[in-house]
Each structure stands twice: as C-alpha cells, then as structure tokens.
Structure 1
C-alpha cells in the first residue's frame, strides 16, 4: 500500500468541461497504478479528491473555481420537510449492504443512464463502462442495494473512509420518480454513517451555477472546502 509521501500527482491537458459548455477543465490525479492505503485515501478525500473507478482526482482549473468539495456533518444534519416526506414515501424499502454488485445491478444502471442521462458523456451505457466506473475499486467500498417487494430499485455506491462515507454514485429505477430515490440514497447514507459513528458524508463537488450539481446544498448544514479549509454553512 502507498503512503502519502509516495503519492505522485499527474495533470491532464485542458479538455472540455463536463459542466459548462464554454469552459475548459484541467484535472490532477494520482497514479492509477498506485494503491493508496485507507488512511491516505481518507486524507485525500479531506483535501477535496474524489474517486471514479480506480482514478482518484481533483479539478485544477486555473480560471474557474466552481467545483467545491462538499460534505455533510451527520450529527447536526436536519432533514427538511421535503426530505422527511421522501423518507416517509420510502419507508417500505428494504436494504442490503454487499461487498459487490448484484447480478441485477447492471440492468438497473443501463435503464437509469438511458432514461436520465441521454445527454451526458455516460450515454450510451456499456458493461465495460459500468465495470470500470462502479464495479472496479481498490478501496473499502460497499454497495447498498435497495428493494421494493424483493425487486432491486436503487444502488448506492459508497466508500468507507476514516472519518465518513464518500457517496460515489447512486442509480435507480427511472420510472419511480415519485419516490425521489436519489435523495433517499443520500439520506440513507447519512443514517448509515451515524450507525458507524462516522462524522461526515462526502458528497463530491458542489457547483452553484450547475443545476445537476447544485442540489448538494439542500443538505444542511453543509461544509465546503474553500481555500483549503472546511467552512460550514447552516
């Protein structure tokens, strides 16, 4: 396993931004052939890095600082009225925490991407993409499977850190809009972190001017990594 002193960082060339059509992005990442220790990966998360498959990365755009790492302190989290309704609507769900993805997970992922993200860079979905993005991990990852009457309706991919859970990705049945399963997945992970006595849920990058990334500030209080310091917003 690699410790923090051995971590090597690399930078991409400028490339089209995934969030703003009129901007270019640049990313720094650790050597994907390295296997950081659990403690190092946790420290990287505290410094604003995220994981996608076996890639651990962080935006490094010189002219734009829109991508801000975010986390929720679970002990003081207070669900809104809307979030409490989501919890009530999904009270019939059952959960199973697994070390790997179930055999039905890819079919659910394929339907989710095809319906909800046809305009994104993950469309069209493929098994290879699914395996490299979600099934491949060299960290302490758990897969939260959520069921209605025994039928798989959502999966939350979560990394267990020293000081919290890192919510990597959630996909769900796109036909069950009323359940707000994306919201429920985050609320479920907040409660799970409490049972593990972990203080935070890392939600990834909050981007104020990007609708699909701005939702993270709906979970309050929230902490944002600004100028290398975590700043709490109530």
Structure 2
C-alpha cells in the first residue's frame, strides 16, 4: 500500500454472508477520514484497492479469504480482442453520451434489468431510492455514460471520472438486447478514457471463482492488485 494511506483511520463492518461466494463471510474496511472524501484522494485510494458505495469508501477485509482482487485496464496499452472488435462492429449503430444527469427514462430500463438479471440480489426489488443511495456520491461530480440505439436508451454505465483515470461503477442495460451490452459499455468507457488521455480504467474487484465477473479479465493488458502490488 502506498505510504499516504497507512495513516488513514479505518473502521470494520460486521461480518456478513458474502454476496459472491457461497459459504464465505464478507467484511469490509471503511475509510473514516472525511478529508479523504474528495476526487483526488479517492483516485489515490482507488490505486490502493479501494472502491466506493454511495459516499462510503471501502475495500474487502475478509479474514479467511483473499479472493477479491482490484483490477484495472492500462488505457495506453489496451488492445481489443477479436471478439471485442466483432462486438464493436456489430454495435456500429449505437452511440454514447456522457451526462451528469440520468435521462428521464432510466428507471424503466433499470427496473427491467434488475428484474431479469438480479432477482436474487440485494438490489431486488428495484427501487429508485435504493439505487440513488448506492450510486450517487455527494463529494464527486456524477457521470452517467448513456448508450443509445437511435433515440432509444439501451444502457447506462455509472462512471466515476477522475483526473487521470475512470472507475466503472455500475452498469445496467436492456436485458433483451441481442448483443453483450455489458462488455460494450466497458469498451465505451475505455474510449472515454482514451479521449481524455487517462492512464487507467478501474473495473472493481475480480473474483476468479465468480463466473459473472470473468468478463473483466478479457480486457488486456490489465493489472491486479495482489499483496498491495499491481501485477500484470
């Protein structure tokens, strides 16, 4: 861990059932210092394996499990795979825009996505206030990458846009769309980072045993934070 983060006061959550791995308990370390709740400090904390949920900055702190590894894509070195190139070609009719407010029709899309894809998750049943408590942040300027087919909204990627990096926070999309909008949203976020000449796109945590997360490893080259050292 970088030296500046060693002085931060940390609180620990109560252990609870892991959201990703069966028969595992989950615990997180939470940053208590309010002075670190601003953009530049958060970017430094991202580089040390932290994430945010709402206004809260946290990282896994599980006593008997080290499965969660922060993962990030090196933007200057990124090379799309053959399948990612094919997907881009198939999505040529789609366009994206970065906005600081959600489109009016966002909730119906979110509701369909949660009901179809995550009816067994903590965000079900879908609720506007629960989503805002989870996604919004009072000390960051919010950014929402909207993806359209013509004028129809088909996906939204909540994206934390920082000084030299971006963080893919949460994505929801049309669950009936015939192409992989989740992967395409990451490609759009990479394009955003390329336009702004950023160094990194953070993709959250990778858990190899969780099949739903393995799409993250297909964006190369990427690095993982292992024993507080980025390895790639």
State the TM bucket, normalised to the shorter chain: over 0.9
For residue 100 of structure 1, what is the aligned residue in structure 2?
101
- The 8 Å contact of residues 9 and 29 in structure 1, kept in 2 or not, is answered as yes
Instruction: State the distance in 1 between where 2:5 and 2:64 align.
Output: 28
Instruction: State the distance in 2 between where 1:24 and 1:227 align.
Output: 20
Instruction: State the distance in 1 between where 2:66 and 2:170 align.
Output: 23
Mean alpha-carbon deviation: is it higher for 41-50 or for 209-218? Answer: 209-218
For residue 22 of structure 2, what is the aligned residue in structure 1?
21
For residue 171 of structure 1, what is the aligned residue in structure 2?
172
Matches within 5 A, 1:176-195: 176=177, 178-195=178-195
- Deviation string, structure 1 residues 177-228 (Cα, Å, up to 9, x no partner): x221000000011111011010110000011111112221111111000111
Matches within 5 A, 1:185-224: 185-224=185-224
The alignment partner of 1:76 has SS state of: coil
For residue 71 of structure 1, what is the aligned residue in structure 2?
72
State the shift of 1:7 in Å: 4.5
Give 5+ residue unaligned stretches, structure 2: none
Instruction: State the distance in 1 between where 2:220 and 2:70 align.
Output: 15
Number of positions where the alignment pairs a residue of Structure 1 with one of Structure 2: 229
> RMSD over aligned Cα, in angstroms?
1.8
The alignment partner of 1:155 has SS state of: strand
Closer, same or farther: CA 108–136 of 1 in aligned 2, 3 Å: farther
TM-score, scaled to structure 1: 0.92
Matches within 5 A, 1:29-108: 29-31=30-32, 36-108=37-109
Give 5+ residue unaligned stretches, structure 1: none
- The 8 Å contact of residues 101 and 144 in structure 2, kept in 1 or not, is answered as yes
- The 8 Å contact of residues 117 and 175 in structure 2, kept in 1 or not, is answered as yes
State the shift of 1:86 in Å: 1.1
The alignment partner of 1:141 has SS state of: coil
Query: After the TM superposition, which segments of 4 or more aligned residues of structure 1 sit over 4 Å from their partners?
Result: 3-7, 32-35
TM-score, scaled to structure 2: 0.93
Closer, same or farther: CA 83–119 of 1 in aligned 2, 3 Å: same
Closer, same or farther: CA 32–146 of 1 in aligned 2, 3 Å: farther
The alignment partner of 1:29 has SS state of: strand
In the alignment, structure 1 residue 142 sits paired with structure 2 residue 143: yes
For residue 130 of structure 2, what is the aligned residue in structure 1?
129
- Deviation string, structure 1 residues 64-118 (Cα, Å, up to 9, x no partner): 0000000000111111111111111111112221111121111111110000111
